[in-house]
Amino acid sequence: MSFVEYGDTIKDGDTAIVFLGHESMFPVKVQHGSVTQTKYGVIRHSTDLIGKKYGSKVTCSKGGWVFILHPTPELWTMNLPHRTQILYSTDISIITMMLELKPGSIVCESGTGSGSLSHALIRTVAPTGHLYTVEFHQQRAEKAQEEFREHGVEHLVTVTNQDVCKNGFGVSNIADAVFLDIPSPWEAIGHAKSALKAEGGRICSFSPCIEQVQRTCLAMEEYGFTEINTLEILLRVYNVRTVSLQIPDLGKAAEDNSSTGFDSSNPSHQDSPCANLQQGTVQFKSGVPLREVVGHTGYLTFATKS
């Protein structure tokens, strides 16, 4: 199993996603002899998972059932263990596009954090690209390295435990893009410029506060970056549902009745189209924003090495 090389069959040692519903899923490491408890009962890895195809419907011990899904960076973002605040698919999608990433690209990242963006970057640059990711916290760096190994992508990523603001990324003049998600990104702009290729490399900095953005933009200008711009991505989800509304009485039918001598008391006129219109309802699909919407996550500042 690999997050970038998809397989059909669940194998011992794989990471799989147990899907109970759109709002309920979790990752599990498949191991021979192990069991996983769910609200629908027990899943036995040896008999219920190993050898089955991804996407299979698995019946639990209480009679309920779940689906077993192949992991993807998107599913991992929704289910990973949080060691830090993470980036979600809304921001990740614009980052990979604006950094102009493609298979074969070389990317430098700091910090690694929980690895949400890292998995998406690895999938984008595979199979010939490479990710150099730097994490200041030793335990987080070690855990990220362990996850990359378990997910079959360790050959596409190099994890370094150091302070990027002091020591940089450990590479020079090879990166197509640099991504910064650190408290003081302006202190790492010089190292980012050194890591980028000679001309045309792209840089992105993620910051939750506009004051951080201001200092970062000043540092980018100082180091000669061009095309500096900042974006804020806001996601608005709509709930599509069927609603029934009564047809309003606009008075037109009453005027038509009086002009044509229509007698509403006459039983023969009770089934007329006008009478049905006045008392009917109409059903249609309506999109309504959710009452609670995820607001500001952060600002994305992009620039190009001149």
CATH number at residue 24: 3.10.330.20
* 110 is an annotated ligand-binding site residue: no
Written as one letter, the residue type at 6 is Y
* 49 is an annotated ligand-binding site residue: no
Mean pLDDT over the full length of the chain: 90
Is there a domain that residue 44 lies in? yes
Are 80 and 228 part of one and the same domain?
Answer: yes
Tell me the pLDDT band of 274, cut-offs 50, 70 and 90.
Answer: very low
Are 146 and 39 part of one and the same domain?
Answer: no
- Cβ 294 vs Cβ 192: under 8 Å: no
Which pLDDT score, from 0 to 100, does residue 273 have?
A: 47
Which pLDDT score, from 0 to 100, does residue 19 have?
A: 97
* 250 is an annotated ligand-binding site residue: no
Residue written as tokens 């607001």?
Answer: 295
Is pLDDT above 80 for 46?
yes
Are 49 and 176 part of one and the same domain?
Answer: no
* Total number of domains constituting the chain: 2
For the segment 268-274, the average pLDDT, to the nearest whole number, is 49
- pLDDT tens profile 148-188: 999 999 999 999 999 999 999 999 999 999 999 999 999 99
Are 85 and 196 part of one and the same domain?
Answer: yes
Describe the crossing of helices 116-125 and 138-150 by its angle, rounded to 10 degrees: 40
For the segment 118-137, the average pLDDT, to the nearest whole number, is 97
Are 146 and 230 part of one and the same domain?
Answer: yes
Q: Which residues pair with 122 in a beta bridge?
A: none
Is there a domain that residue 240 lies in? no
End-to-end CA distance of the chain: 41
* 135 is an annotated ligand-binding site residue: yes
Which pLDDT score, from 0 to 100, does residue 250 have?
A: 74
Are 161 and 225 part of one and the same domain?
Answer: yes
Q: Which residues pair with 21 in a beta bridge?
A: 24
* 272 is an annotated ligand-binding site residue: no
Which pLDDT score, from 0 to 100, does residue 294 have?
A: 66
- pLDDT tens profile 202-228: 999 999 999 999 999 999 999 999 999
- Cβ 115 vs Cβ 85: under 8 Å: no
Are 62 and 183 part of one and the same domain?
Answer: no
Tell me the pLDDT band of 234, cut-offs 50, 70 and 90.
Answer: confident
CA 21 to the chain's CA centroid: 17
Are 115 and 200 part of one and the same domain?
Answer: yes
* 24 is an annotated ligand-binding site residue: no
- Structural domain containing residue 219: 75-234+295-305
Is there a domain that residue 273 lies in? no
User: Per the confidence metrics, is the pTM higher than 0.85?
Assistant: no
* 234 is an annotated ligand-binding site residue: no
